[in-house]
Amino acid sequence: MAKQRAPHLVVFTGAGISAESGIQTFRASDGLWADHAIEDVATLDAWRRDPERVLRFYDMRRDQVRRAVPNAAHQALASLEQQGFRVSVITQNIDDLHERAGSRRVLHLHGEILKARSSIDPRLYYPLPRGDIALGDLCDKGSQLRPDVVWFGEAVPHFADACEIAAEADLLLVVGTSLAVMPAASLLEHAPLDAPCVLVDPEANALAPPGVARISQPAGQGVLALVHHWTHEGRLWLPETLLE
Ligand code: APR
């Protein structure tokens, strides 16, 4: 008899899944973009105009990430792999909390704050296990190092890979994203038409596109409730009792 294929969960996450770990989201009233103008800290023009200011912004965010620990939602997703599910995480987040929780397949659409990269050759990147990036820190080709993150207006190099992963989902779980940024948010359109899709977010009712189920709860509740059902049943499904 053909070996039963492991059910494939594709998880698409945003800043909201790291909120309960103490990492700021972007568009909340107390979010990062309330205190910092995107054009001053997260664009190529900002980098060319005032690299020191950009480096300080990412030093502050890197410090938040290093002080944070994975929360119950990160851990619940990682635990599914031990239960025999195939789990692919596609995240907009630049923190390493999915990896620290134990998730083995994590694709960062917007880069990774714990890496530096060459300003002239994106293939040259350097892990930052400790410390930050200073002016004068150079790549092997002699150019200033920058955070290995995707700034507004820059291409999203792994988006095509992410679409291929989403196309193989048996179920698409979307957690903690306002779906405000393209092309990332269009990932939902790449899941198979017959794959259920559910959004876990306290604002799910306002955000969920048509056809997407919604659980208006924080990740630490909504994701755990889903993972509990999936683990208990050994299959991916959307229990009506959990949905709005
Ligand atoms: N659990 C789940 N979701 C939460 C929680 C929580 N505890 N707290 C907040 N949220 C939700 C908010 O309701 C919001 O919908 O997380 C979402 C965060 O939205 P944004 O701040 O816009 O973050 P995100 O969607 O990840 O932004 C996408 O924009 O600025 C760029 O590159 C940046 O990757 C980022 C992208």
Look at the block and give the residue holding tokens 């200011």: 53
pLDDT band at 199 (very low <50, low <70, confident <90, very high): very high
**The pTM of the whole model exceeds 0.95:** yes
Q: Kindly give the number of the ligand 1 atom that is closest to the alpha carbon of 73.
A: 1
Mean pLDDT, rounded, for 186-215: 96
Mean pLDDT, rounded, for 115-122: 96
Over pLDDT 90: what percentage of the chain?
A: 95
pLDDT greater at residue 69 or residue 241 = 69
Q: Is 110 a catalytic residue?
A: yes
Q: Is the CB of 27 under 6 A from ligand 1?
A: yes
Question: What is Dmax (Cα atoms) for the chain?
Answer: 63
What's at 193, amino acid-wise?
A: L
- C-alpha 17/C-alpha 174 separation (Å) is 10
| Element housing 207 (H / E) | helix 204-207
pLDDT value at 4 more than 80: no
Write down the pLDDT at residue 202: 97
Instruction: Map residue 9 onto helix, strand or coil.
Output: strand
pLDDT band at 244 (very low <50, low <70, confident <90, very high): confident
| Closest C-alpha to ligand 1, atom 7 | 218
Task: Classify residue 158 by its DSSP letter.
Answer: T
CB of 172 closer than 8 Å to CB of 191: yes
Instruction: Map residue 72 onto helix, strand or coil.
Output: helix
- C-alpha 154/C-alpha 158 separation (Å) is 12
| Closest C-alpha to ligand 1, atom 9 | 16
pLDDT digits (tens, 9 = 90+) for 29-57: 999 999 999 999 999 999 999 999 999 99
- Exposure string of 147-184, with b = 16+ CB inside 10 Å and e = fewer, is bbbbbeeeebebbeebbebbeebbbbbbbbbbbebeeb
Kindly report the CA angle at 172 between 76 and 79, in degrees rounded to 5? 15
Write down the pLDDT at residue 2: 57
Among residues 98, 108, 110, 190, the one annotated as catalytic is: 110
Could you tell which of 58, 178, 224 is best to mutate to test the pocket of ligand 1, judged by most ligand atoms within 8 Å of the CB?
A: 178
The per-residue pLDDT of the chain, averaged, comes to: 96
Mean pLDDT, rounded, for 204-209: 94
CB of 224 closer than 8 Å to CB of 73: yes
Write down the pLDDT at residue 58: 98
Residue-range domains of the chain with CATH: 1-23+71-110+158-244 (3.40.50.1220), 25-67+117-149 (3.30.1600.10)
| Closest C-alpha to ligand 1, atom 30 | 26
| Element housing 114 (H / E) | strand 111-118
> Which range has the worst mean pLDDT, 86-100, 133-147, 164-178, 229-243?
229-243
pLDDT value at 241 more than 90: no
User: Within 10 Å of residue 80's Cβ, how many Cβ atoms?
Assistant: 20
User: Within 10 Å of residue 46's Cβ, how many Cβ atoms?
Assistant: 19
Through-space distance between the first and last CA atoms of the chain, rounded to whole angstroms: 39
Which structure tokens are listed for 63?
């410090």
pLDDT band at 178 (very low <50, low <70, confident <90, very high): very high
- C-alpha 33/C-alpha 53 separation (Å) is 15
